[in-house]
Amino acid sequence: MTDRSGAGHTLVVVVHPVQTSFTHAMAAAATRGLERAGRTVTTLDLYAMGFQPAMTEAERHAYHGDEPVVDPLVAESVAAVRAADMLVFVYPTWWSGLPAMLKGWLEKTMVPGLAFVFDATGKVRPGLQSVQSIVGISTYGSARSYVHAVNDNGRRILLRALRLNTGWRTRRTWLPLYRSDRATAEEREAFLVRIEREMAVT
């Protein structure tokens, strides 16, 4: 986990096993833009951390208990989420959805008491109301028309389901690169420029 000082606190979650990947280049562009905006940036590189996305039996038993977090890496993630008023997810879309690593991170990190709480009547309430903005940055191997036809599941999870835990006033931004496998070097560079520019004005 890395930190950089500034005004406002952003958590960037990066998901790709290859450090030289375009995903990491996108995360670097996002960080540059956020720093230009004067924000503190905390980066969680899930593969580099050695995060284990599969929930264990012990974690499942603990999930609804008083101490739902048993893994130190999950505890680190929970602390990073608590400190952030902006969440940025950078990942490749695989099999029309989130990579298993990111899906597992959400399942293990967004636990009761953090992502949601229960009021006196037992009704579920948002637990992340300090989060003011959610940003998704993703590459797709397919065209936009195909992505929309299969419901763009990653986008729906992050901008709709996760937003239920932050509140309806949370701003949402989606930066997609469709047909990324066929994108030219110039198109990829232009996308990186766009990411940096968009993050600089968040």
Distance CA 103, CA 180 (A): 22
The mean pLDDT value for 55-79 works out to: 94
pLDDT value at residue 120: 81
pLDDT over 80 (residue 5):
no
Whole-model pTM: value is 0.93
pLDDT value at residue 134: 98
pLDDT over 80 (residue 156):
yes
Range of the structural domain that residue 75 is part of: 2-200
pLDDT over 50 (residue 178):
yes
Mean pLDDT (the chain, rounded)? 94
Q: Is 198 exposed, middle or buried (0-12, 13-18, 19+ CB in 10 A)?
A: middle
Domain count, the chain: 1
pLDDT tens-digit series, residues 12-53: 999 999 999 999 999 999 999 999 999 999 999 999 999 999
DSSP H or E segment with residue 116: strand 116-118
- The DSSP 8-state label assigned to residue 56 in this structure reads P
Question: How far is CA 88 from its chain centroid?
Answer: 5
pLDDT tens-digit series, residues 92-149: 999 999 999 999 999 999 999 899 888 888 788 989 999 999 999 999 999 999 999 9
CATH of the domain at 51: 3.40.50.360
